[in-house]
């Protein structure tokens, strides 16, 4: 089979239900959600269940005819890929914790045929190398039929299993010793690989009989819980083929012009050592794939990098490679000499650049194709934002690419280094998803997960799911804010109510840490991260960074005002459900009074970070404006001043989201577009996603830096909920220097369309179109217009 035919087959397979499979949770047999399953968790009978290993499971069944439907439920520890008759069906399970161990529900009928069929699964356990986000008990696989008709497929000792010794783990670390916790890379030995293991024709006579561990069960059943099985709540990830963009340089060979198109193979003679650098053109998250023929004894090394580095470990312009080299983690493929061997990784990788290094032995190696399969949560961009300032187009597109790569089975802070769902990042990501896509499933899941992470003291984990615990108390407060955001944007009353005990437990924990002598927050344990300015650098000895003065020892105005900010959100929530929000409102007021009394400098008007008034930051002033510790009449002047005062500790990419909230509150939304220099600078430096912070930065793709995609709609276009559940809308644009804007935004009832154009110095004309049954108010220069359906706007 030639490479062109292989890629045509590959594209065809992507169109099959496995790549567009939708979770069928509405077709789950309700008995499986309340009682024990008939299927067993199974594993290998002799291999250690708690060490690294990749396993293949198979069962052959006979069918009299092709069924109309054949629904099954499938899960594994750590993960699986499911095949039927050699065709890929799905992968999972979507990430959760031990009490919420997800299973996928799929209809495999499209893959079945009359007569003999083989159901096969590839299951792997990363064990001690597992990602920080991965919980695990032991290697295990389970598949349960939905009803009596499908029970022939249930996992038990009738299934066969074998360990695939072709896989060995690579560290997944980089030479510059960055914090990387996404799991191991891999070395795949083609001579040991079981080629065709999932095909019906494969001979599995030498495979072992699987060992039964325990019956599957949801967490509500039984006397003990191992994996508390729960349905997947999000769609399957998007999977689509993509091509590399260009070869930027090569050593020891000439790469054919059409090699990256998959139409012209690359040959490397025996006993050669060559390399070439591939540029994707943009940062991506994808499964790399290479198809080889021959080349027995060769070694192919793939090294992945977000950017190139110079000899001083500086990135500079991301488009430039001269004098630079790759630093990244690597996979290794070792061909066995067979024809059309497909090498691919178990988990996706993140890159813009891929350096391919090849050492051949005594046989010519032919690389028929190299390509990848893009993957991310299937967010669909339903919002549009256009304006007369074309520089904003680049920010909009780059922000969306950032948000896409940071959304998978959970939200990610960054896809290259951590792939962890942190509350601080996730609040911003969720708003972007809701505003640009309208898809609320990942945001809802995130709120649920953080709520599930609460431990005995009442706080949430800072990141979750995560097998490595971490507590950032301010992030628990941001979870309260997330619940408030969701309450305003979605009519999901039962879900929101279920989070209110968690909201109260977090606030009560903080209230217990208020210093009765000063009225400020006293010593707050754990890691009180706020932001990444240079002044709050990483302390190697203490193992923390990003902590303001007072953040560790107590009396921090920033943490105190953050508590007041979140307590007021909580008060609104609790009042709505008639649960005495007044108590938390009074706490917020007393905290604000304590800060103004102890930390406000009477000479310069700034709120100091602590009562000794030796250090000042933008962060304290931002929270001061958000809580009215800075009186409303003084906020505009103060917010103008702090952006120009180089003596203050500056807010970085992340915390500028809260600067913008303060600008909006103070009626200064029109100045927002003047704050985008950091984003414009990144575009000038060739970034195709937005970084964690201005250079020098670790991550070139960091979720919290995508905030402009929310701001362009919520602030510049001014679209915000005016009643909980987005039952009414207020549109109060803040155009700044823009002459016109056009666009749309998804709302639960349909799309909101806007077309607005300045007239004269202060006038505005255009139109707003709302979905049916949605009412709203338009505000411009203190003039209000009622909005119903399509409303023409004309204000002189």
Q: What is the pLDDT of residues 668-708, one digit of tens each?
A: 999 999 999 999 999 999 999 999 999 999 999 999 999 99
Query: Coil, helix or strand for 3?
Result: helix
Give the pLDDT of residue 163. Answer: 98
Instruction: For CA atoms 778, 784, 785, 787, give the dihedral sign.
Output: positive
For residue 336, the 8-state DSSP code is: -
Q: Are 34 and 221 in contact (CB under 8 A)?
A: yes
Mean pLDDT value across residues 54-83: 97
For residue 681, the 8-state DSSP code is: H
Cβ neighbours for 360, distance < 8 A, ≥ 6 positions apart: 268, 269, 270, 271, 272, 273, 295, 297, 298
Task: Estimate to the nearest angstrom the gap between the alpha carbon of 247 and the chain centroid.
Answer: 29
Give the pLDDT of residue 3. Answer: 38
Mean pLDDT value across residues 114-125: 98
Give the pLDDT of residue 7. Answer: 39
Q: Are 574 and 580 in contact (CB under 8 A)?
A: yes
Per-residue pLDDT tens digits for 36-62: 999 999 999 999 999 999 999 999 999
Cα–Cα dist 713/699, whole Å? 26
**How many DSSP H helices and E strands does the chain contain?**
15, 35
Mean pLDDT value across residues 506-516: 98
SS3 of 227-260: CEEEECCCCCCEEEEECCCEEEEEECCCCCCCHH
Give the pLDDT of residue 59. Answer: 98
Cα–Cα dist 131/181, whole Å? 5
- How far is residue 521 from each of residues 293, 403, 524, measured CA to CA in Å? 66, 34, 7
Per-residue pLDDT tens digits for 608-619: 999 999 999 999
Q: What percent of the chain has pLDDT over 70?
A: 97
Predicted TM-score (pTM) above 0.85: yes
Q: Are 594 and 588 in contact (CB under 8 A)?
A: no
Taking the CA atoms of residue 168, residue 173, residue 174 and residue 176 in that order, the dihedral angle to the nearest 10 degrees is -150
For residue 539, the 8-state DSSP code is: B
Q: Are 354 and 275 in contact (CB under 8 A)?
A: no
Of 150, 191, 136, 194, nearest to 59 by C-alpha is: 150
Per-residue pLDDT tens digits for 252-289: 999 999 999 999 999 999 999 999 999 999 999 999 99
Rounded to 5 degrees, φ, ψ at 479 are -65, -40
Q: What share of the chain is helix, strand, coil (3-state, %, to 5)?
A: 25, 30, 45
Strand-by-strand arrangement of the 775-780 sheet: 719-721, 728-731, 775-780, 783-788
SS3 of 6-64: HHHHHHHHHHCHHHHCCCCHHHCCHHHHCCCCCCEEEECCCCCCCCCEEEEEEEEEEEC
| DSSP-derived secondary structure for 394-415 | HHHHHHHHHHHHTBSSSB-S-T
pLDDT at residue 9 greater than cutoff 70: no
pLDDT at residue 12 greater than cutoff 50: no
- How far is residue 507 from each of residues 457, 478, 553, 569, measured CA to CA in Å? 11, 11, 20, 11
Query: Coil, helix or strand for 703?
Result: helix
Residue 135's CB: how many other CB atoms inside 10 A? 18
Task: Estimate to the nearest angstrom the gap between the alpha carbon of 151 and the chain centroid.
Answer: 36
Cα–Cα dist 521/513, whole Å? 6
For residue 261, give both structure tokens.
Answer: 């198109």
E strand spans, 503-593 = none
Q: Are 600 and 607 in contact (CB under 8 A)?
A: yes
**Structural domains of the chain ordered from first start:** 22-170+190-235 (2.60.120.260), 239-376 (2.60.120.260), 455-700 (1.50.10.10), 740-795 (no CATH)
Task: Return the half-sphere exposure (C-beta side, CA atoms, 13 A cut-off) of residue 189.
Answer: 11
For residue 669, the 8-state DSSP code is: G
Q: Are strands 101-107 and 228-231 parallel, antiparallel or unpaired?
A: parallel
Per-residue pLDDT tens digits for 489-501: 999 999 999 999 9
Task: Estimate to the nearest angstrom the gap between the alpha carbon of 793 and the chain centroid.
Answer: 39
């Amino acid at each position: 089979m030639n490479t062109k035919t292989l890629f045509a087959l590959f594209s065809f397979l992507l169109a099959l239900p496995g790549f567009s499979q939708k979770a069928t949770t509405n077709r789950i047999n309700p008995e499986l959600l309340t009682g024990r399953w008939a299927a067993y968790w199974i594993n290998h009978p002799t291999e250690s269940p708690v060490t690294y290993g990749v396993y293949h499971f198979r069962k052959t069944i006979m069918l009299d005819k092709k069924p109309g439907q054949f629904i099954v439920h499938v899960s594994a520890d750590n993960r699986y890929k499911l095949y039927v008759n050699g065709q890929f069906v799905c992968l999972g399970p979507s990430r959760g914790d031990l009490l919420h161990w997800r299973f996928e529900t799929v209809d495999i009928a499209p893959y079945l045929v009359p007569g003999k069929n083989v159901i096969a699964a590839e299951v792997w356990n990363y064990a001690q190398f597992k990602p920080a986000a991965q919980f695990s008990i032991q290697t295990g696989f389970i598949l349960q039929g939905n009803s009596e008709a499908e029970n022939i497929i249930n996992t038990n000792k009738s299934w066969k299993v074998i360990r695939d010794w072709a896989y060995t783990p690579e560290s997944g670390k980089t030479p510059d010793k960055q914090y990387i916790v996404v799991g191991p890379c891999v070395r795949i030995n083609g001579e040991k690989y079981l080629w065709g293991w999932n095909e019906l024709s494969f001979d599995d006579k030498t495979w072992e009989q699987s060992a039964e561990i325990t019956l599957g069960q949801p967490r509500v059943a039984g006397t003990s819980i191992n994996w508390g099985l729960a349905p997947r709540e999000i769609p399957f990830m998007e999977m689509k083929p993509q091509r590399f963009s260009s070869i930027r340089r090569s050593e020891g060979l000439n790469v054919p012009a059409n090699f990256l198109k998959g139409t012209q193979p690359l040959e490397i003679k025996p006993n050669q050592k060559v390399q070439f650098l591939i540029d994707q053109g943009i940062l991506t998250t994808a499964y790399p794939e290479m198809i080889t023929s021959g080349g027995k004894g060769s070694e192919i090394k793939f090294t992945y990098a977000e950017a190139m580095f110079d000899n001083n470990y500086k990135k500079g312009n991301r488009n430039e490679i001269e004098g630079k080299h790759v630093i990244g983690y690597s996979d290794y493929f070792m061909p066995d000499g067979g024809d059309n061997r497909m090498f691919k990784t178990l988990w996706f990788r993140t890159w813009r650049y891929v350096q391919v290094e090849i050492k051949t032995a005594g046989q010519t190696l032919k690389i028929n194709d190299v390509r990848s399969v893009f993957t991310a949560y299937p967010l669909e961009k339903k919002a549009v934002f256009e304006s007369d300032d074309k520089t904003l187009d680049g920010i909009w597109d780059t922000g969306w690419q950032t948000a896409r790569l940071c959304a998978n089975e959970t939200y990610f802070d960054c896809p290259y280094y951590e792939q962890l769902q942190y509350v601080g990042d996730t609040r911003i990501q969720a708003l972007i998803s809701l505003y640009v896509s309208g898809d609320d499933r990942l945001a809802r899941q995130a709120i649920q997960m953080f709520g599930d992470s609460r431990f005995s003291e009442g706080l949430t984990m800072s990141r979750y799911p995560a097998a490595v615990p971490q507590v950032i108390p301010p992030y628990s407060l941001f979870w309260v804010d997330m619940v408030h955001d969701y309450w305003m944007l979605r009519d999901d009353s039962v879900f929101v109510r279920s989070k209110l005990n968690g909201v109260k437990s977090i606030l009560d924990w903080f209230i217990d840490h208020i210093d009765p002598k000063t009225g400020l927050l006293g010593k707050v344990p754990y890691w009180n991260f706020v932001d990444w300015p240079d002044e709050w650098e990483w302390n190697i000895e203490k193992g923390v960074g990003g902590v303001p003065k007072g953040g560790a020892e107590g009396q921090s105005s920033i943490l105190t005002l953050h508590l007041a900010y979140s307590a007021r959100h909580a008060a609104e929530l609790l009042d709505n459900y008639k649960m005495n929000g007044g108590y938390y409102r009074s706490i917020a007021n007393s905290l604000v009074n304590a800060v103004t009394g102890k930390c406000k400098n009477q000479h310069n008007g700034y709120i100091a970070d602590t009562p000794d008034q030796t250090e000042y930051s933008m962060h304290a002033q931002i929270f001061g404006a958000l809580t009215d510790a800075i009186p409303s009449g003084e906020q505009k002047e103060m917010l103008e001043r702090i952006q120009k005062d180089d003596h203050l500790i500056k807010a970085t990419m992340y915390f500028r989201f809260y600067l913008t909230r303060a600008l909006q509150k103070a009626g200064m939304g029109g100045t927002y577009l003047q704050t985008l220099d950091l984003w414009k600078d990144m575009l000038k430096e060739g970034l195709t996603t937005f970084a964690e912070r201005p250079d020098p930065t670790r991550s070139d793709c960091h979720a919290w830096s995508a905030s402009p995609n929310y701001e362009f709609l919520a602030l510049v276009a001014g679209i915000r909920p005016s009643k909980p559940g987005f039952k009414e809308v207020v549109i109060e644009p803040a155009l700044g220097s823009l002459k016109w804007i056009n666009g749309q935004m998804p709302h639960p009832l349909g799309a909101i369309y806007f077309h607005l154009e300045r007239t004269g110095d202060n006038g505005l004309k255009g139109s707003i179109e709302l979905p049916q049954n949605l009412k709203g108010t338009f505000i411009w220069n203190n003039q209000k217009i009622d909005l119903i359906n399509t409303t023409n706007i004309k204000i002189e």
